[in-house]
C-alpha cells in the first residue's frame, strides 16, 4: 500500500512576528486580535487603535467570502464551477486574480502558471489523496497546462479554455490577494496600524503604533522553530514560498506543492525558500511561487530586471542566504548566518 504521510503546515509559526518584546504596554492595550482558520491555514489579524474591532469583524467576513469564492475543491465555488464546465463568467475578485495571474505568467516566462490545476490534481494536492503519478499521466496533464490557452475578457469576466480538461488554480496568489483586500478593508475602517498573517504570508498596514517599522521573521526551511532572519518594514507584504509548507513523502522521497510547469514535478531548482517584499500582496505571493520555480540564478536575474517592483530573500539547498540589494538596510540575518547581497 502506498505510503502516505503528512503534509500541511505549521502556519502560525511559519513567519514569526518579531519584536513583540519591544511593545509598550499602552500599545498592547490598544491591540485587537483575531485567529481564523480558513483557506486550509491558520490566520491571525492584529489591528491597533480606534475601530480596531470593527476592522477585524470586516476582515473575518472578507476572508470567509474569498475562501468560498476561490476554493478549487468545491464545484459550488466560482472557480470550481468554471473548472468543471470549462467556461463561465468571473466576478470582480476573480477578474482581478486572473488578470494578475496572466500578467505573472508572461512576466515570469511561464514559471507562474495558473492553469497548473490538472497537475496539482494528479499529485493529490487538491484532495490530500497524495500519490506520485506515472510519467505518462504527467505528460498528459502537462499538455493541458498553458495559461496562454485561457481565453479571457477582463472587461466582461468571460473565461473559457482552449482545451478540454484545462482548469485554473489560484492557490499561488489567493492568500496574497486576500491580504491585499484586508489591507484595503482595514484602512477603510480608519485603522492605520495592523499586521495580517495568513499562514506565514504577512502584510503590514502602516507602521507599528509607535511609528517604528514592523519586524517580520522568516522561518528556516528545515526547522519551524528557527528563524533565518528578520525584515524591518512598513506598508509591505512579506510573503514566503517553500517546499516545506505542504508536502508528502513516498518511499523516503519528499514531494512538495510548488510545481515546475516545465516538468510537472515539484520544483527542484536549488532553492528551499523564497521571500518577496512588495507593496502589493498578490504580486508578492505570485512572485514567491515563481522565483521558487525559477531557482537561484534565474531568480536573481529576474530581480535585476524588476528591482523597482520588489525585494527578495532566497535560501538555497545548502541553507545559504542571498538577499537583494534593496534589503541591505532592512534585513538582518540571524542564528549565526550571513547574507550575500546581490
Ligand atoms: P503557500 O500557498 O503554501 O503559501 P505558494 O504561494 O507558493 O505557497 O502557493 C503554492 C500553491 O500555488 C500550490 O498549492 C498551487 O495551488 C499553486 N501552484 C503550484 N505551482 C504553481 C505554479 N508553478 N504556478 C502557479 N501556481 C502554482
Ligand atoms: Mg505564492
Confidence (pLDDT) at 7: 31
* Each residue's pLDDT expressed in tens, for the chain with a length of 342 residues: 333 333 333 333 344 444 444 445 555 669 999 999 999 899 999 999 999 999 999 999 999 999 988 877 777 889 999 999 999 999 999 999 999 999 999 999 999 999 999 999 999 999 889 999 999 999 999 999 999 999 999 999 999 999 999 999 999 999 999 999 999 999 999 999 999 999 989 999 999 999 999 999 999 998 889 999 999 999 999 999 998 778 899 999 999 999 999 999 999 999 999 999 999 999 999 999 999 999 999 999 999 999 999 999 999 999 999 999 999 999 999 999 999 999
Ligand 2 centroid, distance to 24 Cα (angstroms): 34
Confidence (pLDDT) at 246: 83
Give the residue whose CA is nearest to atom 3 of ligand 1.
Answer: 245
Confidence (pLDDT) at 27: 59
Q: Please state, in angstroms and rounded to a whole number, the distance separating the CA atoms of residues 237 and 234.
A: 9
DSSP H helices in 237-317: 281-294, 296-305
- The pick from 171, 247, 287 for probing ligand 1's pocket by mutation, whose C-beta has the most ligand atoms within 8 angstroms, reads 171
Q: Please state, in angstroms and rounded to a whole number, the distance separating the CA atoms of residues 32 and 54.
A: 10
Q: Please state, in angstroms and rounded to a whole number, the distance separating the CA atoms of residues 200 and 272.
A: 15
- The pick from 114, 289, 295 for probing ligand 1's pocket by mutation, whose C-beta has the most ligand atoms within 8 angstroms, reads 289
**Shortest-distance ligand to the CA of residue 101:** 1
246 CA: nearest ligand 1 atom = 3
DSSP H helices in the chain: 11-14, 25-29, 52-70, 78-85, 92-107, 117-122, 135-142, 174-188, 281-294, 296-305
Confidence (pLDDT) at 11: 32
Ligand 2 centroid, distance to 285 Cα (angstroms): 4
Which three-class secondary structure state does DSSP give residue 21? helix
Q: Are 144 and 118 in contact (CB under 8 A)?
A: yes
Q: Are 255 and 130 in contact (CB under 8 A)?
A: yes
Give the residue whose CA is nearest to atom 26 of ligand 1.
Answer: 172
Confidence (pLDDT) at 243: 80
C-alpha neighbours within 13 Å on the C-beta side of residue 237:
31
Phi, psi of 254 (to 5 degrees): -95, 130
Q: Are 229 and 332 in contact (CB under 8 A)?
A: yes
Q: Please state, in angstroms and rounded to a whole number, the distance separating the CA atoms of residues 95 and 152.
A: 9
Ligand 2 centroid, distance to 296 Cα (angstroms): 16
260 CA: nearest ligand 1 atom = 23
Q: Are 292 and 267 in contact (CB under 8 A)?
A: yes
Ligand 1 centroid, distance to 172 Cα (angstroms): 4
Ligand 1 centroid, distance to 51 Cα (angstroms): 34
Confidence (pLDDT) at 224: 85
Confidence (pLDDT) at 10: 33
176 CA: nearest ligand 1 atom = 6
Confidence (pLDDT) at 237: 98
Ligand 2 centroid, distance to 295 Cα (angstroms): 15
285 CA: nearest ligand 1 atom = 6
Amino acid at each position: 500500500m502506498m505510503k502516505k504521510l503528512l503534509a500541511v503546515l505549521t502556519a502560525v509559526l511559519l513567519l514569526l512576528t518579531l519584536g513583540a518584546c519591544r511593545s509598550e504596554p499602552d500599545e498592547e492595550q490598544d491591540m485587537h486580535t483575531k485567529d481564523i482558520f480558513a483557506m486550509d491555514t491558520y490566520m491571525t489579524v492584529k489591528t491597533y487603535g480606534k475601530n480596531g474591532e470593527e476592522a477585524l469583524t470586516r476582515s473575518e467576513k472578507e476572508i470567509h467570502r474569498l475562501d468560498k469564492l476561490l476554493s478549487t475543491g468545491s464545484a459550488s465555488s466560482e472557480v470550481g464551477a468554471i473548472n468543471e464546465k470549462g467556461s463561465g463568467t468571473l466576478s470582480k475578485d476573480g477578474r482581478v486574480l486572473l488578470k494578475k495571474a496572466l500578467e505573472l505568467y508572461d512576466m515570469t516566462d511561464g514559471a507562474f502558471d495558473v492553469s497548473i490545476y490538472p497537475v496539482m490534481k494528479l499529485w493529490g494536492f487538491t484532495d490530500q489523496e497524495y500519490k506520485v503519478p506515472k510519467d505518462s499521466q504527467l505528460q498528459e496533464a502537462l499538455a493541458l497546462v498553458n495559461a496562454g490557452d485561457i481565453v479571457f475578457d477582463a472587461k466582461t469576466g468571460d473565461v473559457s479554455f482552449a482545451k478540454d480538461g484545462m482548469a485554473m488554480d489560484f492557490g499561488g496568489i489567493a492568500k496574497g490577494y486576500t491580504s491585499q483586500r484586508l489591507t484595503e478593508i482595514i484602512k477603510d475602517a480608519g485603522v492605520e496600524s495592523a499586521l495580517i498573517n495568513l499562514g506565514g504570508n504577512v502584510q503590514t498596514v502602516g507602521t507599528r503604533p509607535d511609528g517604528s517599522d514592523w519586524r517580520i521573521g522568516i522561518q528556516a526551511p528545515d526547522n519551524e522553530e528557527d528563524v533565518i532572519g528578520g525584515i524591518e518594514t512598513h506598508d509591505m507584504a512579506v510573503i514566503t514560498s517553500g517546499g516545506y509548507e505542504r508536502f508528502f513523502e513516498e518511499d523516503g522521497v519528499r514531494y512538495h506543492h510548488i510545481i515546475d510547469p516545465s516538468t510537472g514535478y515539484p520544483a527542484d531548482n536549488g532553492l528551499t525558500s523564497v521571500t518577496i517584499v512588495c507593496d502589493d500582496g498578490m504580486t508578492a505571493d505570485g512572485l514567491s511561487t515563481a522565483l521558487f520555480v525559477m531557482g537561484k540564478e534565474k531568480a536573481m536575474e529576474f530581480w535585476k530586471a524588476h528591482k523597482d517592483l520588489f525585494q527578495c530573500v532566497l535560501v538555497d539547498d545548502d541553507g545559504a542566504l542571498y538577499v537583494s540589494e534593496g534589503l541591505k538596510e532592512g534585513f538582518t540575518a540571524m542564528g549565526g548566518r550571513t547574507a550575500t547581497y546581490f
